[in-house]
Amino acid sequence: MHFPDDLKYTEEHEWAKYDESQGIITIGITGFAQSELGDIVFLELPDLGSEAQAGEPLGTIEAVKTVADLYSPVTGTVSDVNEALDDAPELINDDPYGKGWILKIEVSDPQELEGLLSAEKYKTLTE
């Protein structure tokens, strides 16, 4: 399975892409996670302006087989949610690293990003 090198990863199977110029991190679940969950049918996401704590649940992802928590890789404030997922949660299955992004967080402490996994380390975790 391929994991994009320009992303960081969590042990809970989220990916994170940091836009340093804006101080915003985009979050989604990995291709591995969506394949394990199966067809995604619903997401429960936080409201804009909600506080996110690193390592804490932010919402839930409901699939045909199970329900999984979505964890925040960083501490900050929810600045955007992918509203396209309201009508088409299957975008996560179809394009987990593109159109299937889930939300964005304004990062409080960029140092927290150093604790995330590289693509190589994440690949080792999933083997």
The number of angstroms, rounded, from the C-alpha of 30 to the middle of its chain's C-alpha atoms is 7
Average pLDDT over residues 49-67: 95
Residues 10 and 115: their CA atoms lie apart, in Å, by 9
The number of angstroms, rounded, from the C-alpha of 90 to the middle of its chain's C-alpha atoms is 15
| CATH number of the structural domain 8-126 | 2.40.50.100
Tell whether the model's pLDDT for residue 58 goes beyond 90: yes
Tell whether the model's pLDDT for residue 2 goes beyond 90: no
Residues 73 and 71: their CA atoms lie apart, in Å, by 6
Buried b (16+ CB within 10 A) or exposed e, 51-66: ebebeeebbebebeee
Q: Percentage of the chain surpassing pLDDT 90?
A: 98
pLDDT for residue 65: 86
pTM (two decimals):
0.94
pLDDT for residue 1: 79
Average pLDDT over residues 8-25: 97
Residues 8 and 36: their CA atoms lie apart, in Å, by 19
For 8, 69, 75, 112, 127, the CA distances from 102, given in Å and listed in that order, are: 15, 13, 16, 20, 25
pLDDT in tens, 86-117: 999 999 999 999 999 999 999 999 999 999 99
**To the nearest whole number, what is the mean pLDDT of the chain?**
96
